[in-house]
Amino acid sequence: MTTMKTFGLLFCTIAALTTAEADSLRLRRKQRSSPFSSSFFSSSSSSSFESSGEVCLNGGSSVPSIYTGEHMFCLCLDGFEGKKCEIATSAQCYEGMGLYYRGTVSQSESGRTCEEWDVETRERYMSTDVNSGRHNYCRNLLYKRRPWCYVQKNQQLVWEYCDIPHCGIESLPALPSPTPAEPKPELTCGQRTRRKLMKIVGGTVSTVEAHPWIAAVFWRSKTKEKVFRCGGSLISSCWVLTAAHCFPDGSNTKARRFSVFLGKNALNESELTTEQRFRVEEIYIHEGFDNSEGNFNNDIALMKLKARRGQCAMESNTVKTICLPPPLQSLHPGVSCEIAGYGKEKFGLWYNSQYLREAQVNLLADSVCRQEDYYGKMITDNMFCAGRSDWSQDACEGDSGGPLVCDVGGRFFQFGIISWGDGCAQEFRPGVYTRLTNYNRWIEEKTGLSDITAGLMFPQK
């Protein structure tokens, strides 16, 4: 991660490559002059999910005006109604975790009537819901296990799961709803233990407790030297997500030459009490990975950790999984997210900063990043951009493969993989990230994990 002038954040480099090779990973083209408009970055701090689809939801079709060609109304499929086809009129059950449930059940499992959703919740999470959330229907907000709602119990407002069957399953065992005095986390993913930062000249050093899902990928050279290659993220106890371009040998990549460290604070130091080291059993590089246009399309890869005595990563204060969001979901432009890695403090340096660092970047609208003054046609639907309005913070060489994570409802979800960019922290050259929500099905196919969007539990210790 790189910072200009102020405390910027700097990120890791691929030490196995020469300076020239590493430079090729951060594509450089002749910089064009264009005034930067701060309006490209929204000032909104909302982190609610926003559908990346069309105007009409749930398969509905937009009917345009014959005079202006602009959208007039939605023609909904059977079972849906509403201005945007957002109301599921025949929804008698929910699928998956019920993230898309739009039925009208408004009763909890205990038989209590649901309370109407409050204004803050409606504005933050339910803008596309029926009547913009002005109702008391059960919904699955904040990624709980299934649809729920708030009810009055003993003169207190508490939440309970709703009395809705799972589609295709006759019944589900009742799950206790935690009271305010006894909170119980629904998932282990996306939760950090603490946030401890130390300011140093040229950047911000973080600790692995603040990014417990971060992975450090090392490669063993022909001379048996262990060299840092890329960053990554732990998505389940045995699987690490990273970038495809971290493996220049492609299908000829030998998994046995790689190792992964979890819970690592510094590249050149080992802490046996916090670190977990694994050999790599398999590497899957996306079949559509293509750099013929110099833009690393489909830049995603998976590494399967080699279990020891049937066990991969164990959850601890320094090792946790990151949550993955549902398919085809995005956040509003301007939302602040985090990137982390072990890399260079400045573009062109030959050495890494060694210590784990982090940076804050804002999501850019696709229309901005595709302007000619930015990256133009190099940005595909499989990518998005993020940066700072003052261009002070960015990912840099070697940060490749690391996660871009965003806080959604108090839990961190990974929306991007650090992929490429033109230099580091340069004007009109934001970082480019793999759009992770395009690859949920691919990840499920390769890993065999049945419900990655729910976040995966660690095995019992």
Quick check: 246 and 399 in contact, CB under 8 A?
no
- Please calculate the CA angle 413-49-100 and round it to the nearest 5 degrees: 100
Residue whose token pair is 């609208």? 365
| Beta strands 411-420 and 431-435, pairing class | antiparallel
Looking at 245, 259, 316, 330, which residue is catalytic? Answer: 245
> Reduced to 3 states, what is the DSSP secondary structure of residue 264?
coil
207/400 Cα distance (integer angstroms): 19
Quick check: 260 and 216 in contact, CB under 8 A?
yes
Quick check: 382 and 433 in contact, CB under 8 A?
no
Beta bridge partners of 152: 157
Looking at 129, 299, 394, 399, which residue is catalytic? Answer: 299
Looking at 48, 316, 400, 419, which residue is catalytic? Answer: 400
| Residue 106 identity (one-letter amino acid) | S
* Catalytic status, residue 166: no
Any idea what DSSP says for residue 321? P
Structure tokens that stand for 15 in this block: 């030490």
Quick check: 60 and 77 in contact, CB under 8 A?
yes
> Reduced to 3 states, what is the DSSP secondary structure of residue 398?
coil
* Catalytic status, residue 110: no
Any idea what DSSP says for residue 139? B
Quick check: 46 and 240 in contact, CB under 8 A?
no
Please give the C-alpha separations between residue 44 and each of 93, 124, 337, 342, 406, in angstroms, as whole numbers.
35, 11, 13, 30, 14
Beta bridge partners of 187: none
Alpha-helix residue ranges (DSSP H) falling in 341-422: 366-369
- Please calculate the CA angle 442-444-446 and round it to the nearest 5 degrees: 70
423/428 Cα distance (integer angstroms): 11
Residue 63 sits at φ, ψ, to 5 deg, of -105, 115
Quick check: 52 and 438 in contact, CB under 8 A?
no
272/104 Cα distance (integer angstroms): 53
415/63 Cα distance (integer angstroms): 32
* Catalytic status, residue 249: no
Mind telling me the catalytic residues?
A: 245, 299, 400
